[in-house]
Chains A and B, each alone.
Chain A
Amino acid sequence: MHELPSRSSVGITVPATPAYLRHLRVVAATMADDLGFDVDAIESLRVAVDELCALSIADATAEATLSLTMESGANGLLSLQGRCGPVLEDPVLDPIAEQLLRAGSDTHALSREGDHCVFELTARSATAAASPDGR
C-alpha cells in the first residue's frame, strides 16, 4: 500500500453524460486501492460507483454536471458524496441497481433535492476492517 495521509479527499466535476463515468470509476478504484481493497472489492466498488452515477445522470439536462467528492478515512473507509443537476425527474433505484449497490458498498442512498440528484456511498476495506483497529 502507498504511503498516504490518514485522511484524504478528492473532488471531481464532469459533464453529466455516460462518457465521463469512467473517470469517476478510475478515481474511486485508485482510492480504494490506496485503502487496501482487494481486487474483487475494487471491482465491486467500481460497479457500484458506476451504477449510482449512471442513475443520477439518467434524467439530467444537457447542461447538467456531476460533482463527486471521495474521502478516504480511518479504518479503510471510503465515502463518496455526489450531486448531479439539473435533473428533470426523481432518480429511480431499481432492484438490479439495488443489488449492485449492496454488493459493492456498505451503505448507499440516492434522492432528489430541488432540481438536483444527490447520492452517497460508503465502503470499507476488508483488510483494514479485519485489523484490531478496524472494529
Chain B
Amino acid sequence: MAAESDPRFAAYAADRSRRLRNVLVEENLELVEYYVSRYGKGQIEADDVRQQAFMALIKAVERFDPEVGVTFKTFANRTIEGELKRLLRDRGWSVRPPRSLQELAVQARRLEPELTQQLGRVPRVADLAERLEESTDRVLEALSAGASFRADSLDAPIGDGSTSKGAMLAGSDGSMDDIERQMDVEQLLEGLDERDREIIQMRFVERRSQQEIADTLGVSQSYLSRLLRQTLTTLRQSLDDDSLAP
C-alpha cells in the first residue's frame, strides 16, 4: 500500500512513467471500491460510480505532490469525493429523487383520475404540469421517479411483441393509474429502434447490470452507459414534444 513516504510518488513526479503511474493506481484501487460501496447503491449506478472514481484516482496519482505534506490517501479521497459529488449533482435526480419530487409524484398520481374524468381522456404530462403549476420536465421527472419505485412489477419483456400487454401488467399491483402509466411507457418505447428497446429492457426490466449488458452486446460499459443516457434523454424529449403538440 502506498504511503506518504512512498518514494515512488516522487519518482513518478520526476519521470511521469506511465507504467509506474498504473502500478500506483492499481495498488490504490481499494479506494474506488470503497466509494462504489458508499455511493453505488442508490442514486447513481454502481458501474458509473466505479468509472468516475477510477478516473478520479488516476487524476489523484497524476496530481499528487509528495512535497505538500498530506498523505496520498487523503489527497485521493478528496479528489474522488469531489468528482463523485459532481456526478451526483449532474445525474442523481434521475434514479433516486429528492423528497419533493416523490411528493410531486404522489400528487400527480392522485390527480390523474380526476383529470381523466374532466378531460375525457388520459391526461398528458402538460395537463398535469399545468394543474400542478410545475414545469413539464419536473412532472416528467416525478413520474419517472414514481415508476422507479415499482420497477420490479415490470417482470416481462415489453415492446418487442413477444409478450402481451396483459401479461406485462399481470405482475403489477393492478391499480388503474399504474396501468395507464405503463401504457404511456410502452407507447414511448415503441418509438425506439429495436436495439435501444432491448437495452432498456435488459437494464430496467431484467435488472441486468451495465457491464452484463455491455458484455452481451459486445461494447464497453462506458459506451453502454452513454447509450442509456442518450436513450433516456430521447424518451424524455419525446414525452415533452408530445405534451407540447396541439
Contacts and interface: CB of A to CB of B under 8 A. Distances in A.
Interface stretch (A7-15, A23-31, A40-48, A77-85): A40-48
A135 B17 CA distance: 40
B55 interface: yes
A38 B188 CA distance: 24
Given A99-B54, A135-B193, A58 B18 contact: yes
A74 B19 CA distance: 35
Interface residues of A, number: 31
A116 interface: no
B149 interface: no
B168 to A, nearest CB: 24
Contacts, number: 66
A124 B196 contact: no
Given A104-B222, A135-B193, A130 B19 contact: no
Nearest to A55: B18
B26 interface: yes
A88 interface: no
A97 B22 contact: yes
A92 B19 contact: yes
Given A38-B226, A40-B226, A126-B230, A102 B19 contact: no
Interface of A: 18, 38, 40-41, 44, 47, 51, 54-55, 58, 92, 94-97, 99-100, 102-106, 123-124, 126-127, 129-132, 135
18 contacts: A40-B222, A41-B222, A41-B223, A47-B55, A55-B18, A58-B18, A94-B23, A96-B21, A96-B26, A96-B58, A102-B221, A103-B54, A103-B55, A103-B222, A130-B227, A131-B193, A135-B193, A135-B195
